[in-house]
Amino acid sequence: LFSAITMAPRDPILGITEGFNADQNPAKVNLGVGVYYDDNGKVPLLECVKKAEAILMEKFAPRTYLPIEGLAAYDKAVQELVFGADSAVVQEKRAITAQAIGGTGALKLGADFLKRFAPDAQVWISDPSWENHRALFESAGFTVNNYPYYDASTRGVNFSGMLNALNTMPAGSIVLLHACCHNPTGADLTDDQWTQVIAVVTTRGLVPFLDMAYQGFGDGIEADGKVVRRFAEAGGALFVSNSFSKSFSLYGERVGALSIAASSAEEAARIMSQLKRVIRTNYSNPPIHGGQVVATVLSTPELRQLWEEELAGMRIRIREMRAAFVSKLKEKAPAHNFDFVTQQRGMFSYSGLTKEQVEKLRDNNSIYAVDTGRICVAALNKRNIDVVIDAITAVL
């Protein structure tokens, strides 16, 4: 059985962390994975999380199984965060939300659910997209295609190409869209462009699947969540995966959710009954701790306020790093224009570095980035930025 098994390639993102962890150079820098580090180079444990954990610790609650769809308080709080407590879809009980094992788990639940009920549909992801999108939908049994998205010449979105592709997809096609902070490019659509996308998706009967892994890292929680609400208002089937890995710095707790908006409460109940079968046959029911922490923070006004402040702090620090990155490169490598880095949103910069340059950064300086040139700006800090700038200058 095992003799015929060949070695699989390393994961394009998490494989970089494996290489980084094995690197003995004390000056190494990991700009590969999408993780926020503070100015001391540490993954923060948010104060709101510490306070919620202190509340939970005092209860010494038993660890029984959660319901298949997760902690009710968590699902409710997440649904209200995603769609808005006063939105029609929530008020009319047309939405369902199930706790998931991170954003990736939410995508996989959605993919498995869709494969059961739309087995012949094809999936369309942006070119480029998060590396795992293709692998994940293919592993659920779908054919995955690309729609045009990034235009390297303008460092922005090839919007006419994207719209054209949406206009020619067969009805029922599943379209994966990044709700905010596009991963890997950092290039988002404008409000006006979203209006056009929502119109095409709705009138042509496409199935939107919004991936919202970076809410709060663009312009703020409300602003970044706006697209999801606009899709929900437009009606029609809607899938939303969201994650608290980054926004709560709870990576290892694996806290995310899948929400689905339907056209009636009765339809929503049927959807939930089937989604529970998908969950039960995957991992039975989700873990308790991370969900309890997030539910406690979101439903306790002082903690929620603290969370919003802490998230704003992360967002602002990333912006400062973008500005410092651009100004330092202007000084060290004046022949190259990196101004676009301050326009990009979220944790990443699609830097334009080639695969060869990324390899040189790794081999010569132990600076790790994704082969596509994606770098995690949220991993830069006042101590490592000069080393990174000098190394980039050398490979340019």
- Alpha carbon distances (Å) from 335 to 67, 233, 308, 396: 58, 47, 39, 10
CB 268 within 8 A of CB 260: yes
Please tell me whether residue 33 binds ligand LMR under the rule CB under 6 A: yes
Handedness of CA 16, 17, 18, 21 (dihedral sign): positive
Provide, rounded to whole angstroms, the least separation between the CB of residue 13 and ligand LMR.
Answer: 4
Q: Among candidates 345, 95, 121, 131, which has minimal Cα distance to 228? A: 95
Catalytic residue among 211, 224, 307, 328: 211
Q: Which residue has the tokens 């592709």?
A: 165
Total number of residues that touch ligand LMR (CB under 6 A): 7
Provide, rounded to whole angstroms, the least separation between the CB of residue 246 and ligand LMR.
Answer: 8
When binding is defined by CB under 6 A, the residue of 20, 34, 169, 200 that contacts ligand LMR is 34
The DSSP code for 172 is: T
Give 227 or 369: the residue with its C-beta nearer to ligand LMR. Answer: 369
The residue with its CB nearest to ligand LMR is 34
Burial of 147-165, coded b for 16+ CB within 10 Å and e otherwise, reads bbbbbeeebbbbbeebbeb
Provide, rounded to whole angstroms, the least separation between the CB of residue 34 and ligand LMR.
Answer: 3
211 catalytically annotated:
yes
CB 187 within 8 A of CB 157: yes
Handedness of CA 257, 263, 265, 266 (dihedral sign): negative
- Alpha carbon distances (Å) from 268 to 26, 80, 206, 213, 339: 53, 16, 19, 24, 46
Provide, rounded to whole angstroms, the least separation between the CB of residue 365 and ligand LMR.
Answer: 20
Please tell me whether residue 13 binds ligand LMR under the rule CB under 6 A: yes
Residue type, 167: N
Catalytic residue among 51, 115, 246, 328: 246
Please tell me whether residue 380 binds ligand LMR under the rule CB under 6 A: no
Provide, rounded to whole angstroms, the least separation between the CB of residue 36 and ligand LMR.
Answer: 11
Give 13 or 46: the residue with its C-beta nearer to ligand LMR. Answer: 13
Q: Among candidates 55, 372, 52, which has minimal Cα distance to 186? A: 372
Omega of the bond prior to 184 within 30 degrees of 0, cis? yes
Give 94 or 374: the residue with its C-beta nearer to ligand LMR. Answer: 374
Give 34 or 291: the residue with its C-beta nearer to ligand LMR. Answer: 34
Helices (H), 156-190: 159-168
Tell me whether residue 168 is exposed, middle or buried, using C-beta atoms within 10 angstroms of its C-beta: 0 to 12, 13 to 18, 19 or more: exposed
When binding is defined by CB under 6 A, the residue of 97, 99, 126, 183 that contacts ligand LMR is 183
Tell me whether residue 86 is exposed, middle or buried, using C-beta atoms within 10 angstroms of its C-beta: 0 to 12, 13 to 18, 19 or more: exposed
- Please work out, in degrees rounded to the nearest 5, the angle formed at the alpha carbon of residue 299 by the alpha carbons of 298 and 304: 45
Please tell me whether residue 350 binds ligand LMR under the rule CB under 6 A: no
Q: Which residue has the tokens 């950064």?
A: 361
246 catalytically annotated:
yes
When binding is defined by CB under 6 A, the residue of 74, 124, 130, 325 that contacts ligand LMR is 130
Residue type, 67: P
* Contacts of ligand LMR in 202-261 (CB under 6 A): 213
Handedness of CA 76, 79, 83, 84 (dihedral sign): positive
Provide, rounded to whole angstroms, the least separation between the CB of residue 378 and ligand LMR.
Answer: 10
Give 129 or 296: the residue with its C-beta nearer to ligand LMR. Answer: 129
Those residues whose C-beta lies under 8 Å from the C-beta of residue 320, and which sit 6 or more positions away, are none
Provide, rounded to whole angstroms, the least separation between the CB of residue 207 and ligand LMR.
Answer: 23
Q: Which residue has the tokens 């929400």?
A: 259
Provide, rounded to whole angstroms, the least separation between the CB of residue 243 and ligand LMR.
Answer: 8
Q: Which positions lie near ligand LMR, rule CB under 6 A?
A: 13, 33-34, 130, 132, 183, 213
Active-site annotation, residues: 130, 211, 246
